[in-house]
Chains A and B, each alone.
Chain A
Amino acid sequence: DQQVKQNSPSLSVQEGRISILNCDYTNSMFDYFLWYKKYPAEGPTFLISISSIKDKNEDGRFTVFLNKSAKHLSLHIVPSQPGDSAVYFCAAISGTYKYIFGTGTRLKVLA
Chain B
Amino acid sequence: SQTIHQWPATLVQPVGSPLSLECTVEGTSNPNLYWYRQAAGRGLQLLFYSVGIGQISSEVPQNLSASRPQDRQFILSSKKLLLSDSGFYLCAWSRALQETQYFGPGTRLLVL
Contact = CB atoms under 8 A, between A and B. Distances in A.
Interface of A: 4, 32, 34, 36, 41-46, 49, 89, 91, 93, 95-99, 101-104
A46 B95 CA distance: 14
B100 A34 contact: yes
Contact of A101 (B41, B44, B49): B44
B100 A103 contact: no
A25 to B, nearest CB: 12
Contacts, number: 52
Nearest to A46: B100
A89 B6 CA distance: 21
Contact of B106 (A43, A96, A103): A43
Interface residues of B, number: 25
Contacts of A104: 43
Contacts of A34: 100
A103 B97 contact: no
Nearest to A45: B103
Interface string B84-112: 00000011100001101111111010000
A62 B97 CA distance: 25
A81 to B, nearest CB: 22
Given A41-B108, A42-B106, A43-B106, A93 B98 contact: yes
Q: Which of B91, B103, B104 has the most CB of A within 10 A?
A: B103
Given A43-B4, A43-B103, 9 more contacts: A43-B92, A43-B106, A44-B103, A45-B103, A46-B100, A46-B101, A49-B100, A93-B98, A99-B101
